[in-house]
Amino acid sequence: MSVDEHIGPRTASFYPSIQPHASGMLEVGDGHSLYWETCGNPDGRPALFLHGGPGGGCHPDYRRLFDPSIYRIVLFDQRGCGRSTPHAEIAANTTQHLVGDIERLRAELGVEDWMILGGSWGVALALAYAQRHPRRVRALVLRGVFTARQLEFDWLYRHGASSMFPEGWQRFVDPIPPSERDDLIAAYHRRLFSDDTGTRQEAARTWCGWEGELLTMKPRAPRTGPATRGEMALSRIEAHYFVNRAFLEEGELIANMHLLADVPGVIVQGRYDVVTPPRTAYDLHNAWPRSTLHIVPDAGHATSEPGILARLVEATDSFRPL
């Protein structure tokens, strides 16, 4: 178990752009159909990418975090988002459903076990899956650690980040009457599932705008205009998960790390990550004997931060011999 805050030369970057060599839709029951794709070496070592959100969907750049000559790279859009259908659906959409979906996809693709890379919400999902199916996981690479503890929700939606970004916080709370501000997740959940289209649109854009401002070291300007299709899925599914505390017991993912005592892992965490602050990464690292924690001294939350990207590619490269 080690902690490293020295980033060294930034030699690692995205691998070149690649296209899938196979893709499809996987029926998982409850009316849900999941988009999946495989890239890289069809006969290579399996590596699974788990996107954030929940509800964020996959981006082509995520294929480029792995050496395509070595890895059989698997990506899929989780229930209700990206190219999966039905769009923005929350029925039969819980952490436990997603864990089952990963295992169903593994069997569908004929994978014995795989390395898993997850970021943000993808960390929580990777841990939930690995703790349920530890023999199916060769290694974990985790970025921007989120484990759905109450203190993590409070930081982002009650107090913490609001002290660092007061103007963004003001934009986030302005649409909510003072009488409802004691639970902003619940207040936004009500609006995101309103019968009124305009109410849903405004809530989606504002919900995503708050998180979007915090992703990188250099804050992003808030986006204007109507909510996009992706923002609608992200906001509705996130609010659904967060109002239900991600369908997990308080602190269970860190408390159950003894189940992964034999699984090696690398944690990559931005020092100035305002979405998922370093405390959670440190707590996870301390509970996981076979982990290495890289705290990137000049980075926020996003994969695209140069130091984060360098460490992620170095980590996937390091597991090539497995």
> Are the C-beta atoms of 120 and 276 separated by less than 8 Å?
yes
Active site residue 4: no
- The residue among 8, 9, 6, 2 whose CA lies nearest residue 293 is 2
Q: How many CB atoms lie within 10 A of CB 202?
A: 17
Active-site position among 77, 273, 285, 294: 273
Active site residue 120: yes
190's CB contacts (< 8 A; 6+ apart) are none
Active site residue 298: no
Active-site position among 77, 101, 120, 285: 120
- CA dist., res. 123 & res. 227, Å (int): 26
- CA dist., res. 235 & res. 191, Å (int): 11
Which secondary-structure segment (H or E) carries 32? strand 32-40
Give the C-alpha distances (Å, rounded to integers) separating 55 from 33, 146, 241: 14, 15, 10
Can you tell me whether residue 75 is helix, strand or coil? strand
- The residue among 143, 197, 158 whose CA lies nearest residue 309 is 143
Helix pair angle (184-192, 197-213), 10° resolution? 140
Residues with a known catalytic role? 120, 273, 301
